């Protein structure tokens, strides 16, 4: 029955995280640590939640033609490197230091979630259904929106890719997805439409999580008795959250989650 | 920047449109999700070695799936003769391999 506690926390975190569009791991990992799991053990459980959510959300986002795989993979080159570095370094850090890192990440996510703008690019009447998709050899693309097609071309690549590397370090070091850095980096800095940014982030966070989880597996940090419950709860909670999304305002949920994350961060610091 | 602000219309990107539509990725991910739910549940409630073995299998599937997607996309980009992104895909897998080797050597332990 010791699996029940983390699974219930994962269910709540996945539902709330999915409702607010920030993912559940950023909530799950600090909550696990506050309730007594070591930070070193909580991080892999958080990343398993991230990878499971990425798998579950994949089909819908692929059908919407909103994922830009080339842009995602280019950003992943740095994010995965960051995740590997973060995971290797976190293995050598004390639990107390990891708790401080986690508290800082939770506050960062609260701030990033509160200030998200949701950039919209208008459809181009000159574009047709044949233009939808990413371009061979480049990072640009076009996605369908209503009856129109929205073309886009990522800008400020260096700054954006640097932030992807940072997101990777955060994911590997703390067990949070780093999506709260990736999505704003794509939409606000690189001028990618918010829907493409969110879908591409969901695709890439799964890869970042996998890269770090490979390291955690070799470090013996994945608890295979707790992990299945967390994975099932993530899949269930993500689905429930996605269904409830149309009934509540995501911005309001994000603000509430922001407050909750700050409280959890304070608890982490006090506990550490 | 306020919510929903327009970024302005961007030009239609030049170049060939990729043929990747998720024809194999979508059913693959749907079936994986359908399998993970019952298997994960059974692994969570099953005690002893059987539960651990099933739990390990579920974890391996969750960790491997995103990396298999990278491998699949790299293969599809090769079919599209997109050498630049074939190298990017190989680079991502290479980073994971290097990380695994470093962890196996005890770096960061």
- Residue in B with minimal Cα distance to A229: B44
* Range in A23-27, A237-241, A247-251, B31-35 the model is least confident about: A247-251
pLDDT average, residue stretch A155-183: 90
Q: Which residue has the higher pLDDT, A72 or A97?
A: A72
Q: Which residues of B50-70 are buried (b: 16+ CB within 10 A; e: fewer)?
A: ebeebbbebbebbbbbbbebb
Give mean pLDDT, residues B21-35. Answer: 93
State the pLDDT at residue B84: 95
Give the per-residue pLDDT at B1: 40
Q: Which residues of A touch B48 (CB under 8 A)?
A: none
Candidates B37, B51, B98; nearest CB to A225: B51
The average pLDDT across B28-33 equals 95
| Closest-CA distance of chain A to residue B50, Å | 11
Residue A120: φ, ψ to 5°: -115, 130
C-alpha distances in Å from residue A126, one per residue of A1, A135, B44, B72, B74: 59, 17, 53, 33, 31
Q: Which of A127, A191, A225 sits opposite B55 (nearest CB)?
A: A225
- How much is the pLDDT for B4? 46
What order of strands is seen across the sheet that includes strand A141-145? A133-134, A141-145, A148-152
The contacts of residue A54 (CB under 8 Å, 6+ apart) are A202, A203, A205, A206, A209, B66
pLDDT of residue A80: 97
* CB < 8 Å to B43, chain A: 228
Alpha helices for chain A (secondary structure H) = 4-20, 25-34, 39-63, 69-90, 95-114, 157-174, 179-184, 194-218, 227-244, 250-271
Contact across the interface for B15 and A117, Cβ inside 8 Å: no
Assign B80 a pLDDT band (cuts: 50, 70, 90): very high
The H or E element containing residue B65 is helix B48-79
pLDDT digits (tens, 9 = 90+) for A113-135: 776 665 567 888 888 888 898 99
Pick from A169, A167, A199, A194: nearest CA to A182: A167
Q: What pLDDT, on a 0 to 100 scale, did the predictor assign at position B68? A: 97
ipTM of the complex model: 0.90
């Amino acid at each position: 029955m010791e699996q029940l506690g983390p699974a219930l926390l994962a269910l709540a975190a996945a539902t709330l995280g999915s409702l607010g569009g920030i993912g559940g791991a950023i909530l799950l990992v600090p909550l696990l640590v506050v309730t007594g799991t070591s930070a070193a053990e909580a991080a892999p459980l958080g990343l398993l939640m991230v990878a499971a959510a990425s798998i579950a959300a994949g089909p819908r986002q692929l059908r919407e033609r909103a994922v830009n795989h080339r842009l995602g993979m280019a950003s992943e080159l740095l994010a995965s490197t960051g995740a590997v570095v973060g995971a290797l370094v976190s293995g050598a850090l004390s639990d107390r230091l990891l708790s401080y890192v986690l508290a800082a990440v939770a506050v960062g996510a609260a701030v990033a979630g509160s200030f998200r703008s949701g950039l919209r690019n208008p459809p181009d009447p000159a574009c047709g259904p044949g233009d939808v998709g990413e371009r061979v050899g480049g990072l640009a693309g076009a996605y369908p929106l209503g009856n129109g097609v929205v073309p886009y071309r990522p800008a400020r690549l260096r700054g954006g890719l640097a932030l992807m590397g940072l997101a990777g370090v955060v994911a590997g070091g703390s067990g949070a997805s780093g999506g709260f850095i990736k999505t704003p980096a794509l939409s606000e800095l690189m001028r990618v439409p918010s829907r493409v940014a969110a879908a591409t982030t969901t695709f890439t966070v799964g890869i970042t999580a996998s890269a770090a989880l490979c390291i955690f597996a070799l470090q013996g940090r994945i608890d295979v008795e707790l992990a299945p419950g967390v994975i099932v709860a993530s899949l269930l909670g993500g689905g429930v959250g996605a269904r409830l999304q149309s009934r509540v305002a995501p911005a309001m949920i994000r603000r509430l989650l922001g407050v909750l994350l700050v409280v959890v961060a304070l608890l982490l610091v006090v506990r550490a | 920047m306020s919510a929903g602000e327009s970024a302005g219309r961007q030009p239609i990107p030049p170049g060939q449109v990729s043929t990747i539509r998720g024809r194999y990725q979508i059913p693959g991910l749907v079936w994986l999700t359908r399998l993970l739910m019952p298997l994960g549940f059974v692994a969570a409630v099953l005690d002893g070695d059987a539960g651990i073995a099933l739990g390990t299998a579920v974890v391996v599937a969750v960790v491997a799936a995103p990396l298999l997607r990278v491998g699949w996309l790299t293969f599809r980009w090769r079919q599209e003769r997109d050498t630049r992104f074939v190298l990017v895909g190989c680079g991502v897998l290479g980073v994971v391999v290097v990380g695994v080797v470093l962890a196996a050597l005890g770096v960061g332990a």
